[in-house]
Amino acid sequence: MEHQHQEQENNIVVSDEVLVNGIRTTLTLTSDGTLRWFDHQHGKLSSLCVEKQVLGLTTLGMLITINTVLCKGGGCLGREGLVRTRFVFQALSADSLRILSHNIQTYIDSLGRPKKLYIFVNPYGGKKSASKIFSNDVKPLLEDANIEYTMQETKYQLHAKEVSRSLDLTKYDGIICVSGDGILVEVVNGLLEREDWATALKIPLGAIPAGTGNGMIKSLLDSVGEPCTPVNAILAAIRGHKRSLDVATIWQGETVFFSVLMLAWGLISDIDIESEKYRWMGSARLEFYVSLYLFI
Ligand SMILES: Nc1ncnc2c1ncn2[C@@H]1O[C@H](COP(=O)(O)OP(=O)(O)OP(=O)(O)O)[C@@H](O)[C@H]1O
Reference 235, options 48, 69, 108; nearest CA is 69
User: Which value, to the nearest 10 degrees, does the dihedral of the CA atoms of residues 287, 289, 293, 294 take?
Assistant: 20
Domain end marker among 109, 139, 159: 109
Q: Are residues 233 and 139 in the same domain?
A: yes
Q: Are residues 137 and 238 in the same domain?
A: yes
Q: Are residues 68 and 141 in the same domain?
A: no
Q: Are residues 126 and 246 in the same domain?
A: yes
pLDDT of residue 296: 65
Query: Is residue 157 pLDDT above 90, yes or no?
Result: yes
- pLDDT, tens digit, 9 for 90 and up, residues 162-192: 999 999 999 999 999 999 999 999 999 999 9
Q: How far apart are the first and last CA of the chain?
A: 81
Query: Is residue 139 pLDDT above 90, yes or no?
Result: yes
Ligand 1, atom 2: closest residue by C-alpha? 156
Domain end marker among 83, 109, 135: 109
Atom of ligand 1 nearest to the CA of 154: 8
Atom of ligand 1 nearest to the CA of 209: 26
Does 209 contact ligand 1 (Cβ within 6 A)? Answer: no
Q: Are residues 56 and 136 in the same domain?
A: no
pLDDT band at 106; cut points 50, 70, 90: very high
pLDDT of residue 3: 46
d(CA 136, CA 120) in angstroms, rounded, equals 15
Please indicate whether residue 264 or residue 110 has the higher confidence score (pLDDT).
110
**What average pLDDT score do residues 210-226 get?**
91
Does 250 fall in a domain?
Answer: yes
Q: Are residues 160 and 274 in the same domain?
A: no
Task: Count structural domains, the chain.
Answer: 3
Q: Are residues 7 and 105 in the same domain?
A: yes
Q: How far is the CA of 183 from the centre of ligand 1 (A)?
A: 6
Does 26 fall in a domain?
Answer: yes
The active-site residue out of 181, 222, 246, 270 is 181
Q: Are residues 82 and 142 in the same domain?
A: no
Atom of ligand 1 nearest to the CA of 216: 26
Does 157 contact ligand 1 (Cβ within 6 A)? Answer: yes
Please indicate whether residue 212 or residue 186 has the higher confidence score (pLDDT).
186
Q: How far is the CA of 180 from the centre of ligand 1 (A)?
A: 7
- pLDDT, tens digit, 9 for 90 and up, residues 77-104: 444 588 999 999 999 999 999 999 999 9
Identify the domain containing residue 278 by its residue range.
Answer: 264-296
- CATH code where residue 143 lies: 3.40.50.10330
Does 259 fall in a domain?
Answer: no
Does 126 contact ligand 1 (Cβ within 6 A)? Answer: yes
Q: Are residues 240 and 144 in the same domain?
A: yes
Q: Are residues 209 and 273 in the same domain?
A: no
Ligand 1 pocket test, candidate residues 122, 216, 285, 289, most atoms within 8 A of CB: 122
Q: Are residues 168 and 212 in the same domain?
A: yes
Please say if 181 is a catalytic residue: yes
Does 83 fall in a domain?
Answer: yes
Q: Are residues 98 and 122 in the same domain?
A: no
ipTM given for this complex:
0.94
**What average pLDDT score do residues 146-150 get?**
98
- CATH code where residue 100 lies: 2.30.29.30
**What average pLDDT score do residues 147-152 get?**
98
